[in-house]
Amino acid sequence: MKPNIIVILTDQQRADTLGCYENPTVRTPNLDALAEDGVCFERAYCSTPLCTPARVSIQTGAYPHRHGIVDLWGEIPNEQTGPVPGWNHPSDDVMPWLGHYFRDGGYETAYIGKWHCMTGSDRRGFEDYLIRIGSYDTDIGAEDQNDWLRYSLSRGYEVSKGKQNGADHKSKDLNYGVSLYSEHDFPATYAFRKAIDFINQDHDRPFILFLSETSPHQPFAPPAPYDEMYDASEIILSENVEHYASPKRFIELRGHPATFRQYREASQDQLKSAWAHYLGMVTHLDDLVGCLVEALVSSNLRDNTMLIYSSDHGEMAGSHRLQDKGAFMYEEVMRVPLLINWPGKVKTVRYETPVSQVSLLPTLLDIADIPLRSEMDMPSLAESFMGQKTPMNQPVFGEYNRFYGQLYPVRMVVDGLWKYVHYFGPEGELFDLNADPGEVNNLINSSSHEDDLVRMQALLADWIRKSSDVFQMEKRFQI
C-alpha cells in the first residue's frame, strides 16, 4: 500500500527555533516528539533565502537558475504571475512539478495555504482540494479566490488591502506585535483546520497533502495569548548579534532600508522582545501540528502517513545585525528544519551530513514509487528519510539572483564543515563551520587556508559550469 504523505512547510523559520534543534527556551513538544521518534536532519539547506524561488525549487527539484522563477515578482513593479522575463523557464512537460507527478501517479492531491510561486490560482497539479491564502496566490483581480480573505470578511474583520494574508497586527516595536485576529481566525489556525477537514474525508486512494504556512514570517505578530507566551528577559541571543555584516558587500541594497537600520541600531532588549514574539508564532504552529497528528490518529490514518516538516528558508532575526533574508548565505537563512516521521516505518536517527531541500521531490517520488520524467538537481534521500542510510557526503549549493527586479547574484557551496560564498565582484567568504559556527571569522584572506579556499572555489565553479548557470565564475577559479 502506498503511503499518504503530508508536507508541512512553514515560512521563514530557521532551524534553531525548535527544541529538537537545541533551542533551550522554545516550547515545541509536538515537533520534538516527531523528531524523537523519527528522522531529524541537523543540516538541511534551502536552495535560496527568498520565498518564491525557494518554494519553486521544492516543487520542481531544480535550483532557481534552472527553473527560472528567481524573484518575488515577474515584471516589476507588480506583476505577480508568469516567469521572470529573460530567464529560462521550462514548460511543465519538460519540468513537471510535484503536483503533476502525484496527480499522474494516482494520488489524491491537496494544497492548503501559501503558494507564492507566481502561477496565480493554478497549483500545478494539485487539483482535488485547494484552499488559498494570500492575494499574491490568486489570479490578477480575483480576490474572491482568496479563501481566507472571504472567511475573515465573513467574520467581520476589516482586512488591510496589502495584508490579505493575515498580517494585520498591533505593533509594539521593530517588526513585532500582536495579531488583530483571534487565535481561531488566525491564518495558520484556519489552514490547519482545513487540513483536518481534508484528513477527515473519505479517501479511496492515497493522498498527498501540502500544508503551507505564512507563519512565522514577519511581522512577528502571533495571536493572543502567544504574543505574551515568552518572557523576553529569558531569551538567549546568539553571540553573532554583536557581529555586524561586512559593508564590503551589497547587503544594504537588499531593500527595506528603514528596517535594516532599525536592526543595526536595536538594543539587546529589543532583539529579545522580537525573538519572544517569533517563538510565540513557532509554539502556535507546534500546537497546531499536535492537533493535526491527533486528527490522523482518530481517522486511523496515522500508521500509513509519512509526515514531513520543513520551512522555505530561515530568518536573520538580528544575527549579524540583519533582519529578514537577502543576498547572503548565513546559516540563519540557509539552514531549515527537516523532520520526517512515520510510525513503525521510519527509524529514529539524527543526521549531521549536509543535505539540500532540492532533494525533496525526487525523495518523495521514490517513496511513493512514482517514476521520474525530468532531471533532478540533487539526489533522492529516500533511504535517509526512512532512517536506513546516512546521506552521501557531497557538496550542497545555494544561490540568490534577483530582488524586485535588481540583480544580486550570489552562489554558495557547503562541503562538510566548510562554506564558501561567491559574490561576483565584492569580497567572498570562507567559513570553517566547525571552529566558527556563528560565521564571524571570514577566512577569505587567510594564508593558512589558501588550499581550502582553492578547493571550495573549484567545487562551486564546477557546479556552476555543469548546471548551465547564467552566472559563471572566472576561469581562474576552476581546476
Pairing of strands 176-179, 335-336: unpaired
Compute the distance between CA of residue 302 and CA of residue 293 in angstroms, rounded to an integer.
7
Which grid coordinates belong to 356? 539540500
The crossing angle, in degrees rounded to 10, of helices 187-199 and 147-154 is: 110
The strands making up 429-432's β-sheet, listed across from edge to edge, are 396-403, 406-415, 418-422, 429-432
Nearest to 20 by CA among 4, 3, 42: 42
DSSP string, 97-164: -HHHHHHHTT-EEEEEE---SSSTT--TT--SEEEE-SGGGS-TT-GGG-HHHHHHHHTT----TT-T
Compute the distance between CA of residue 28 and CA of residue 287 in angstroms, rounded to an integer.
8
Other C-beta atoms closer than 10 Å to the C-beta of 119 total: 19
pLDDT means over runs of 10, the chain (479 residues) = 96 98 97 98 97 97 95 66 79 96 98 93 94 86 90 94 86 93 98 98 97 96 98 96 78 56 89 98 98 98 98 96 90 98 97 98 98 96 98 97 86 98 89 97 96 96 93 73
Tell me how far CA of residue 328 lies from CA of 95, 331, 456, in angstroms.
Answer: 28, 9, 17
Rounded to 5°, the CA angle 102-341-383 comes to 70
